[in-house]
Structure 1
Amino acid sequence: MDVQVDREAKKLTKITRPPALRIIPPLNFCPVEKQLYRSGQPSIINQSFLQDLHLKTILWLASEEPQEDFLDYCSMNNINIEFVGMINDYNYSNVNPWDSLSETTIKKALELICNKENYPLLVCCGMGRHRTGAVIGCLRRLQGWNLASVSEEYRRFTGARGGRILVELLIESFDINTIEADPEKLPDWLKE
């Protein structure tokens, strides 16, 4: 069967400039589960993308304060920021940013993740690699993932520089039995 295309009826145009609204996800953005996301710290260029997520909570894992425009965006959009793992502002001597990544920090983060009242929820840190990876790795263990799969997912986000063995050891040794959650508030994907 011959199909003739009326070239006059089908007018094509060239795209000469990008669209006015750009939808750009934050660095290392990825869905983790339904309405649970991970990324590096969002910036001003990510705001259109974040709007579409309708976030209720952002779990901030970095040891430093977020950028001012990020705080303003959250305030204007009624997004609750849960600061987990901030370094004590009053002790500047011998500050090791990894001191804030501990079993206590991870436990607090996971208990916030285990409450569906915080959803949609974004877990983030500066680059979305190690702190975020540690929390998501421990969440995967809580979900019953095997350690090889947990390590593979963690390494996928660390880039060419690779993962940190101390983070992987922390994920492996984390006691998932310390997590306390209200069964009525668990996300559906975490229920037995």
Structure 2
Amino acid sequence: MEEVEITEEEDEVVVAPTNFSMVEEGIFRSSFPRSSNFSFLETLNLRSVVYLCPEPYPQQNLQFLQSQNIKFFHFGIEGKTHRTGCVIGCFRKLQRWCLSSVFEEYKKFAGAKSRTTDLSFIETVDLLNLRKCLNSIIYRYLGHSSKKRKLLYRDDNLKVHLTSV
């Protein structure tokens, strides 16, 4: 009988950030990532990260983003809110989810941070103005020159249509 040498290679453990979940294809949510989450984040081939807390983003995390060519957007939202939950709740309303499902998802991820003021905000947010604001941001982000992609916007249509001009 032939002896077979078995070597155990140390596989890297890939750990998702706390509260990680897919929101929509290509859109993810999570709590603040730690360096132990970087290997996991690499597998997602992220193009951008949106950071909602007012505190400065740690240098180590910025270096990781830079090494992966990931764009970084910092919107420092002050106050005692579950920021990500509010943003995703508004997004779900734009997707025409029923309010009870929006609230259920919010509570699932907010846990002890769940606040009635957040739920009230999500319930009463003005979707018409939110759509206009988002479309304005998208339009500016895409640029205005004739060779860049332009936003075709219609109030009665929730989907963003892009075309080359």
Normalising by structure 2, we get a TM-score of: 0.72
- 2:92 and 2:56 map into 1 onto residues whose CA distance is 27
1:20 aligns to 2:7 (yes or no): no
- 1:73 and 1:30 map into 2 onto residues whose CA distance is 20
- 1:80 and 1:154 map into 2 onto residues whose CA distance is 26
- 1:60 and 1:44 map into 2 onto residues whose CA distance is 16
Q: How does 1:3-152 map to 2 (within 5 A)?
A: 19-86=10-77, 97-98=78-79, 130-152=82-104
Residue aligning to 1:171:
122
Distance 1:184 1:56, change over 3 A: farther
The alpha-carbon deviation at position 19 of structure 1 amounts to 4.0
The alpha-carbon deviation at position 21 of structure 1 amounts to 1.1
The alpha-carbon deviation at position 71 of structure 1 amounts to 0.9
Secondary structure, aligned partner of 2:79: helix
CA distances 1:20-42 after superposition (whole Å, capped 9, x unpaired) = 31110011000000000000111
- 1:63 and 1:35 map into 2 onto residues whose CA distance is 25
Segments of structure 2 that go 5 or more residues without pairing to the other structure are 140-150, 161-165
Segments of structure 1 that go 5 or more residues without pairing to the other structure are 1-7, 87-96, 102-129
CA distances 1:100-143 after superposition (whole Å, capped 9, x unpaired) = x7xxxxxxxxxxxxxxxxxxxxxxxxxxxx10000000000011
Letter in structure 2 aligned against 1:31: M
Residue aligning to 1:114:
none
By relative contact order (CA 8 Å, sep 6+), the higher-ranking structure is: 1
Once the two structures are aligned, what percentage of the paired residues are identical? Answer: 34
The alpha-carbon deviation at position 191 of structure 1 amounts to 2.9
Judge conservation of contact 1:137–1:154 (CA < 8 Å) in 2: yes
State how many pairs are aligned. 135
Residue aligning to 2:110:
158
Q: CA RMSD in A?
A: 2.6
Distance 1:76 1:162, change over 3 A: closer
